[in-house]
Structure 1
Amino acid sequence: MIRVVFNRDEAGMIQSFSMSGHAEFDVKGKDLVCAGASAVAFGAVNSLFVNGKIEPIIDQGTDGGYLAVEIPQIEDEMTKIRVQVILDTLRTSLETIENDYSQYIKISYN
């Protein structure tokens, strides 16, 4: 199962997220749940660089099946808004996958 954890600050802003595990919906190379979750997550990370104009702190582990992303301190209010829109889009996309494949992906919030 893929486990996703979103961490929010006191203001409710997403400050970090992590994804770990494997969906095991199907064999490697045919696992649509894993492919979908991975595509959404890596698309969001790329968007943080390109559209958010920030450099998140990223840990991909060494054996695959793990991604952790932490948002650095942001001073500019417009940048904060852009970053949160990207992260909320990631959250919504993963929740959509979870709604249809809840035995393969689980999202929690701290």
Structure 2
Amino acid sequence: MIDVTITRNETGLIRSFSISGHAFFAERGKDIVCAGASAVSIGAINAIHEMTGVVPLTEIDYDEGLLRCEIQDNLPAQEREKIQVLLEGMYFQLKTIEEEYGQHIRITFKNQEVE
């Protein structure tokens, strides 16, 4: 199963997300659930960079099926707003995949821990 965890800060903004695991919907190379989740999440990261110039902190391990993305603090308001639109769009796309293939992908939320 693909596990998606979206972390929101105290004001409800998406601060980070992680995607781990494998869908096992079909054999490697034909797994539309894995391909969809990968395309949506990597596309969101690429769009953030292209549209805002911000390079999110990322960790990727294709063999382990792991993608982590963290948005830096203290970004200018205009960039932060664009990034949130892109991340919320990513969430709704992943939610659509979850609604159709819920046995293979699960989205959970957590609140950012205050230091």
* Superposition TM-score tier, normalisation by shorter sequence: over 0.9
Question: Which range moved further: 5-14 or 51-60?
Answer: 51-60
User: CA–CA distance in 2 between the matches of 1:58 and 1:75?
Assistant: 17
Percent same amino acid among aligned pairs? 42
- Partner of 2:24 in structure 1? 24
Question: Which structure 1 residue ranges, 4+ long, deviate > 4 Å from structure 2?
Answer: none
1:80 matched residue in structure 2 = 80
Structure 1 residue 62, shift from structure 2 partner: 6.3
User: Which residue in 1 is equivalent to 2:95?
Assistant: 95
The one-letter code of the counterpart of 2:52 is G
Aligned-residue CA RMSD in angstroms?
1.0
The letter of the residue matching 1:95 is: K
* Structure 2 unmatched ranges of 5 or more: 111-115
Question: Cα offset for 1:48?
Answer: 1.0
Pair 1:62–1:102, CA change in 2 (3 A): closer
Higher mean alpha-carbon deviation, 20-29 vs 51-60, is at 51-60
Q: Render the CA deviation track for 1:17-49: whole Å, top value 9, x for unaligned.
A: 000000000000110100111000110010111
- The verdict on how the C-alpha distance between 1:78 and 1:66 changes in structure 2, with shifts beyond 3 A counting, is same
**10-19 or 66-75, which moves further after superposition?**
66-75
| Comparing 62-71 and 1-10, the one that deviates more | 62-71
Task: Give 2:33's aligned residue.
Answer: 33
Alpha-carbon distance between aligned partners in 2 of 1:67 and 1:57, rounded to the nearest angstrom = 11
Aligned length: 110
Q: Distance in 1 between matches of 2:4 and 2:62?
A: 18
